[in-house]
Structure 1
Amino acid sequence: MANTASARKRIRQTEKRTIRNRARRSRVRTFLRKVEAAIATGDKTQAQEAFKSAQPELQRAATKGVLHSNTVARKLSRLSARIKSISV
């Protein structure tokens, strides 16, 4: 257990940050699920709209440090390629 005031403060900060990051990560996953569902239906326009709404959320997660920027770039690239491969 933390004995110093600074250590207790760090624990409080970590708890707040963990809650915030968990919410951000959950939000990102929700947006990714929407894109995956749209791709599964085979509707290209719906998939593109879902992708456009998911893109800023993923970028924000990278900015806030929830996800690594290369991870976000890889996910966006793969999703984009899958959407492009949907036949109209």
Structure 2
Amino acid sequence: MANIKSAQKRILVTERNRLQNRFYKSSVRTLTKMFLKSLETYKTSQNPDDKVKAQKLLGSVYSLIDKGSKRNVFHKNTAARKKSKLAAYLKAV
């Protein structure tokens, strides 16, 4: 453990940021998997309700990616790349 007060504070700040980064990254991965699963469901069933569900999930993934980008969890180009890739998946269906 650090002895200097500023070093102790940096340890606390770093831990807080690590947990925040982990939350955003894992949430984006989870929602992306849910989105891809709903796309697969739509591919097999061709039910319009499934496509609407996938579009709503895409919106929530976009929202979380944008919030993470705003808080410097994701670089802006990384966020744009992730969003573009997800949109391409939806367009291909």
| Range of TM-score over shorter length | 0.7 to 0.9
Root-mean-square deviation over aligned CA pairs: 1.5
1:33 equivalent to 2:33? Answer yes
Aligned length: 86
Which deviates the most, 59-68 or 1-10?
A: 1-10
1:64 equivalent to 2:71? Answer yes
1:80 equivalent to 2:83? Answer no
Give 1:48's aligned amino acid.
Answer: Q
| Structure 1 gap segments, 5+ residues each | none
CA displacement at 1:9 relative to structure 2 = 1.1
| Structure 2 gap segments, 5+ residues each | 44-49
CA displacement at 1:79 relative to structure 2 = 1.1
Give the TM-score of the pair, scaled to structure 1: 0.84
After the TM superposition, which segments of 4 or more aligned residues of structure 1 sit over 4 Å from their partners?
Answer: none
CA displacement at 1:58 relative to structure 2 = 0.7
1:7 equivalent to 2:7? Answer yes
Aligned equivalents of 2:79, 2:30: Cα separation in 1: 15
Give the TM-score of the pair, scaled to structure 2: 0.80
2:46 is matched with none
Question: Could you say what secondary structure the match of 2:67 adopts?
Answer: helix
CA displacement at 1:39 relative to structure 2 = 1.8
